[in-house]
Amino acid sequence: MATNATDRQNADAPPADNRTHVPVDGGVLVYEARALGRELVGFEDVDSWDALADALAARGHDRGATFHKPELDTEA
């Protein structure tokens, strides 16, 4: 699981496009800034849905988000 200081630093940095990309085992979690905090909006570069579900659970999200959130286009 990718939980080193660099990942935490990237997640806390202000997003250039209102989105924060957090690399984890299995892919990238994509958050969008909201009035109060941020919201998980999808995933990018997914190479293992199981590892991604583990990363979600480790961050307090429901593993079912892998079924309900989209895999986003990295080109956009």
Other beta carbons within 10 angstroms of residue 67's beta carbon come to 9
With 0.75 as the threshold, say if the pTM is over it.
Answer: no
Please tell me the predicted confidence (pLDDT) of residue 76.
Answer: 54
- pLDDT score at 49: 95
Give dist(CA 2, CA 72) in Å, integer. 20
Q: What does each C-alpha distance from 59 to 50, 55, 65, 73, 74 come to in angstroms?
A: 15, 6, 12, 23, 22
How high is the pLDDT of residue 6?
46
Summarize pLDDT for 15-49 with one digit per residue, the tens: 457 999 999 999 999 999 999 999 999 999 999 99
pLDDT at position 73: 81
Please report, for the chain, the start and end positions of each structural domain, with discontinuous segments joined by +: 5-67
Query: When comparing pLDDT for 76 and 66, which is higher?
Result: 66
Res 15: pLDDT: 45
Q: Which two tokens stand for residue 39?
A: 């919201």
